[in-house]
Amino acid sequence: MPNQTTFTEARYAGESAKPAPQVRPICIAILAMGGEGGGVLADWIVDLAEQQGYPAQSTSVPGVAQRTGTTIYYVEFLPQAASANGHAPAPVLSLMPVPGDVDIVVASELMEMGRAVQRGLVSPGETTLVASTNRVYSMTEKSAMGDGRVDPAPFIAAAQKAAKRFVYGDFAVLAERNGSVISAALFGALAGTGALPFSREQFEAAIRRAGVGVDSSLKAFGAGFDLAQNGPAPQTPAARPAVVERTQGLLKAMDERIAAEFPAVAGTVLKAAVRRLADYQSLAYAELYLKRLAPLRDIDQRRGDSNAPLLVETARYLALWMSYEDTVRVADLKIRATRFERVNKEVKAKADQVLHINEYFHPRLDEIADTLPVWLGTLLMRPGALRNALERATSKGRVVRTTSLRGFLLLYGVAALRGTRPKSLRYQREHAEMCNWLAHIEQNAGSHYAMALEIAECQRLVKGYGDTHARGMRNFKLIEGLLPKLLANDDGVSRIRQLREAALKDEEGVQLATLLQGWNWSDATLAAH
| Segment 18-66, tens digit of pLDDT | 454 567 899 999 998 877 788 999 999 999 999 988 999 999 887 655 4
Q: What is the CA radius of gyration of the chain?
A: 30
pLDDT of residue 199: 95
Which residue, among 172, 135, 163, 130, has the nearest Cα to 150 in the 3D structure? 135
pLDDT of residue 15: 45
Cβ atoms of 174 and 132 closer than 8 Å: no
pLDDT of residue 520: 76
| Segment 71-129, tens digit of pLDDT | 899 999 988 765 545 555 577 788 889 999 999 999 999 989 998 999 999 999 899 99
pLDDT for 244 beyond 90: no
pLDDT of residue 123: 94
Q: How far, CA to CA in Å, does 279 sit from each of 212, 322, 360, 421?
A: 41, 12, 24, 14
In degrees rounded to 5, what are phi and psi of residue 168? -145, 160
Cβ atoms of 34 and 68 closer than 8 Å: yes
Per-residue pLDDT band at 264 (split at 50, 70, 90) = very high
Nearest-angstrom CA–CA distance, 510 and 527 = 15
pLDDT of residue 522: 55
Tell me the pTM. 0.70
pLDDT of residue 143: 66
Which residue, among 407, 395, 401, 397, has the nearest Cα to 359 in the 3D structure? 401
Structure-model confidence comparison of residues 156 and 463, the more confident one: 156
Nearest-angstrom CA–CA distance, 4 and 92 = 9
Paired residues of 131 in beta bridges:
107, 168
H helix runs in 382-491, sequence order = 385-394, 405-415, 425-445, 449-457, 466-481, 483-488
Nearest-angstrom CA–CA distance, 22 and 30 = 26
Nearest-angstrom CA–CA distance, 181 and 36 = 7
Q: Mean of the per-residue pLDDT values for the chain?
A: 86
In degrees rounded to 5, what are phi and psi of residue 248? -60, -40
pLDDT for 145 beyond 70: no
Nearest-angstrom CA–CA distance, 91 and 83 = 11
| Segment 301-321, tens digit of pLDDT | 999 888 999 999 999 999 999
pLDDT of residue 22: 66
Q: How far, CA to CA in Å, does 270 sit from each of 100, 142, 251, 255, 274?
A: 52, 27, 12, 8, 6
pLDDT of residue 320: 95
Q: What is the mean predicted confidence (pLDDT) over 467-486?
A: 90
**What SS3 state is found at 65?**
coil
